[in-house]
């Protein structure tokens, strides 16, 4: 019995083993944008080919049972480039590297052109985009003057129902361009929470007392516009000059921006003087400048369209007192997460911080949350 097993082992060892080979079809001329690899035997399920160009590995290509496969390149080959192909079979995970093939001089123009730095995957944005939004704002870490509160204890909490509109227009570039320039604008209208009667015994509750949803967003925005006690308006220019992760589902645009705006309140409001810690009344009868320059990252498409992070340096005159001479002294951090909900509807959460690093005037941190929608939805 032992001798029989030994004989079977020796016979199996002496039998020829199946060989797997891959050969690059030569000659390969300069200017070619594809390489053909021949397989013997043809590749089965799980077989892949990995092409190396000057020892740089390209993404693997499935053989799909073919005896010859075509591997497309992102740009033309040059004379003298070295090509090698590796075959990876389920029974040979390490793969077998084939002989090197040198690219010879071509006899005509290149079959394709190398990708330009200016060419990126489309960001899918239209030349003009406009949207409306409605939601809430919490000003627990902001002076009473931010929302036009009569005093720091107004309503027990400093919160507002907010709504407004955004628009932007591309003046240079295209959805495929890495560099684009946009002009944009935004309005922010607010109604103090203490001014809204949502008591259970109120038989005529305003729309903003209801839970925010797609069906009542229009009515809630209309109420905010009609009863606003504070308003902010902004406009500016955004220059996008670099795309990060452009070939993914969530690319980001690196940009620089200049933004000019005004803040307006209704009537007299109380605020705290940071120098004396005493409350003082200010007249909210004119527009206060709120400008800054900065830069950030913006997601132009995907499930997180409109999400951004921006840091800037500027001024917010509403927080300044009579002793402030240099108004351009404030650090501003603005970040928003926007998540696609249904159709053109997005939910968002935004945090806006406005600091005076010198400590000579008030600081402000505001949190916004709500829902945004394309303008056509507002009129349906």
Domain boundaries of the chain, sorted by first residue:
10-102, 128-378
CATH number of 128-378: 2.40.128
Residue range 179-188, pLDDT digits in tens = 999 999 999 9
Yes or no: domain 10-102 corresponds to CATH 2.60.40.10: yes
Q: Please tell me the predicted confidence (pLDDT) of residue 366.
A: 95
Q: Please tell me the predicted confidence (pLDDT) of residue 152.
A: 46
Instruction: Give me the percent of the chain exceeding a pLDDT of 90.
Output: 41
Residue range 94-143, pLDDT digits in tens = 787 888 999 998 877 887 776 655 545 788 899 999 999 999 999 878 87
Q: Are 256 and 250 in contact (CB under 8 A)?
A: no
> Residue 103 burial (CB < 10 Å; 0-12/13-18/19+)?
buried
| C-alpha dihedral, 371 to 372 to 377 to 380, nearest 10° | 40
Q: Are 361 and 335 in contact (CB under 8 A)?
A: no
Is the bond preceding 98 in cis, omega lying within 30 degrees of 0?
no
Residue 193 gets which letter from DSSP? G
pLDDT over threshold 70, residue 52: yes
């Amino acid at each position: 019995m032992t001798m029989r097993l030994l004989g079977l082992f020796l016979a199996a060892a002496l039998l020829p083993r199946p060989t797997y080979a891959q050969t690059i079809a030569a000659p390969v001329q300069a200017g070619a944008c594809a390489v053909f690899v021949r397989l013997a035997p043809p590749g089965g399920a799980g077989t892949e080919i990995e092409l190396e160009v000057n020892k740089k590995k390209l993404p693997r290509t499935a053989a799909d049972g073919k005896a010859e496969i075509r591997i497309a390149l992102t740009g033309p080959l040059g004379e003298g480039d070295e090509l090698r192909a590796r075959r990876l079979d389920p029974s040979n995970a390490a793969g077998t590297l084939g002989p090197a093939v040198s690219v010879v001089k071509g006899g005509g123009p290149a079959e394709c052109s190398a990708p330009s730095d200016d060419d990126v995957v489309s960001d899918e944005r239209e030349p003009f985009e406009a949207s409306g939004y409605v939601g809430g704002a919490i000003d627990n870490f902001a002076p009473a003057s931010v929302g036009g509160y009569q005093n720091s204890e107004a309503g027990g909490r400093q919160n507002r129902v907010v709504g407004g509109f955004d628009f932007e227009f591309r003046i240079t570039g295209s959805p495929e361009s890495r560099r684009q320039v946009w002009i944009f604008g935004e309005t922010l209208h607010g109604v103090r929470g203490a001014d809204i009667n949502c008591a259970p015994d109120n038989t005529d509750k305003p729309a903003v007392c209801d839970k925010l949803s797609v069906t009542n967003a229009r009515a809630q925005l209309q109420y905010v516009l009609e009863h606003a006690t504070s308003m902010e308006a902004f406009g500016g220019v955004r220059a996008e000059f670099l795309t990060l992760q452009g070939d993914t589902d969530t690319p980001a645009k690196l940009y620089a921006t200049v933004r000019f705006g005004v803040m307006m309140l209704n009537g007299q409001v109380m605020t705290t003087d940071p120098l004396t810690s005493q409350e003082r009344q200010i007249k909210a009868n004119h527009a206060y400048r709120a400008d800054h320059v900065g830069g950030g990252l913006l997601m132009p498409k995907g499930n997180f369209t409109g999400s951004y992070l921006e840091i800037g340096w500027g001024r917010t005159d509403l927080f300044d007192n009579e002793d402030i001479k240099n108004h351009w002294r404030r650090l501003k951090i603005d970040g928003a997460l926007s998540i696609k909900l249904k159709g053109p509807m997005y939910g968002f959460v935004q945090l806006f911080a406005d600091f005076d690093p010198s400590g000579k005037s008030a600081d402000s941190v505001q949190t916004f949350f709500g829902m945004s929608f394309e303008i056509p939805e507002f009129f349906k």
